[in-house]
Amino acid sequence: MELLSEKEINHIIQQLGYTKALQWSVNNFTDHLIGYLGEHLTLTVEVESGATKIVLKFFIKCIPRFDVYLAEYLKETSFFNKEYVMLSSLFKHYNKGSQKWRPSVLLVKEDLFVFEDVTQLGYKMPHNRDTFTLEQVIAFVETIAIFHAQSYVYEEKKSKELRRPYRIWEDYCDYLQEPAKGKCWRNAGRDAVIEFLKVYSKYKEYPNFLQNIEEAITKVFEKASFLMRPHPVYRNVVVHRDLWTNNILFKNTDHGKCHALIVDFQTVLYAPPMIDLSSFIYFTTTRNFREKYLTDIIDLYYSTLSKELKKLSIDVDKIMDRDSLEKCYEENVAFGITQAAIIVPITVMDSRMREKIFSDPETAYRVNEVSRSSEILEMAKTDEVYLTRVSELLDEIVERYMFDTKTNCNYISSVNNA
């Protein structure tokens, strides 16, 4: 089956100023797993430039051609379709922003997208087991604030055109909510958190820990699910929701500054912007880092958002003032920490274990929809770095929502008000 026609290949290169493709090929982008919700390929095209021939490279993301389970899963969850609608419709109305926030898209089909290959420009994906440096966090926060600003800009522009308040939810609600199929994945992640804490939590000897752990964790996860909906008070934006290491790329610019790009918009929602900031922080930083820099991070986000909106004569404080932004962040910590609790135990696995899990359709199905507890417990048993990273994250849930660890006092009833 031909992935791309000659007409489509020429359409891609003509956007870059070239006339006709001489020849082209499609190959695997890498031998390693770089994402879970699609197949990733490289398109190589030879073109003429004056009297010389040059080679262009592009990045392809498509519905898996050979993994029947994953292809069906993407169709059932509509994850791929979410990104298709964002790229083919909504994002076309967004401003480019003061700096680039995602790779350029050159061709959009329902089952295939072609992007510029930003690795050719020097962007690199951070290692999945590394936490981010302060420089990387600053670069990301600026980029995500610029991305979020485009939702506000679009809504304000449409509101003026329609002469009434307009919200993106009106036209895109079908694509900006959690699919029903996603509940199984979240439940499997929640159950793995519970089983991990029973075995490895440093608080497992506390009074009533084992009796109450399932109820406490379940309530926190229920709270997080509620936070994925549009908020009735705060202004909502299109949030990415899946900002782990493989969906962020970094490059050091000629001026020595780090710049970040965001990729993969398959799990977008319409929700408060702090959904993204809270989950990113828990995905990619240590607890010490969060405690030291959180206020600075929120200040930077607010400042960047303000500058982006001011260029288009929009007052940031009419969208969300600094105090409301911090309050919004605190309210969404339950989402950020639980989202990280689901994803980090998978993403920081040794690459060999992840390849083993997701290369087998039967194992991938079980891990996604039934149970991933055995894989996570086994990894913790054999990998000290993994155990330390996951334990720090999951024990913070215990400290925040289950026990007053300073007094040994059980306050599980307060989870409802987390």
Tell me: the pLDDT tens digits for 217-238?
999 999 999 999 999 999 999 9
392 domain residue, yes or no = yes
Q: What is residue 413's predicted lDDT score, i.e. its pLDDT?
A: 44
Residue 40 has pLDDT above 90, yes or no: yes
**How many CA within 13 A on the CB side of residue 184?**
13
Classify residue 387: in a domain, yes or no. Answer: yes
User: According to the model, what pLDDT value does residue 34 have?
Assistant: 55
Q: Is residue 299 one of the residues assigned to a domain?
A: yes
Q: Which two tokens stand for residue 234?
A: 């705060």
Give the 3-state secondary structure of residue 116: strand
Structure-token pair, residue 269: 């929602």
Written as six digits, the tokens of 249 are 């790329």
What is the extent of the structural domain holding 264? 127-417
Residue 86: HSE in the Cβ half-sphere, 13 Å Cα cutoff: 25
- Is residue 414 over pLDDT 60? no
331 found inside a domain: yes
Residue 30 lies in a domain: no
Q: How many domains does the chain have?
A: 1
Query: Measured between alpha carbons, how far is 127 from 256 in angstroms, rounded to an integer?
Result: 21
Query: Residues 290, 281: contact at Cβ < 8 Å?
Result: yes
Residue 402 resides in a domain: yes
pLDDT of 362 reads: 79
Of 75, 76, 68, the residue nearest 111 (C-alpha): 75
In the predicted model, what is the mean pLDDT of residues 160-188?
Answer: 93
**Residues 126, 287: contact at Cβ < 8 Å?**
no
Say if residues 357 and 375 touch (Cβ distance below 8 Å): yes
Mean pLDDT of the chain: 91
Q: What share of the chain is helix, strand, coil (3-state, %, to 5)?
A: 55, 15, 30
| E-only strand ranges, 67-123 | 105-109, 112-116
Rounded CA gap, 250 and 259, in Å?
Answer: 6
102 within a domain of the structure (yes/no): no
- Between 23-27, 279-283, 362-366, 375-379, the lowest mean confidence (pLDDT) is in 362-366
Q: Show the tokens assigned to 140.
A: 């990301």
> Domain with 239 in it: what CATH number?
3.90.1200
- The percentage of residues in the chain with a pLDDT greater than 70, rounded to a whole number, is 95
pLDDT one-digit tens code per residue, 276-324 = 999 999 999 999 999 999 999 999 999 999 999 999 999 999 999 999 9
The amino acid sitting at 82 is K
pLDDT of 32: 57
Q: How far is CA 184 from CA 189, 190, 276, 405, in A?
A: 9, 10, 22, 31
Q: How many helices (H) and strands (E) does the chain have?
A: 15, 11
Global confidence as pTM: 0.93
Distance CA 107, CA 8 (A): 8
Distances (CA, A) of 267 to 123, 137, 154, 416, 417: 23, 21, 20, 26, 27
Are 169 and 236 a contacting pair, CB within 8 Å?
yes
55 is a domain residue: no
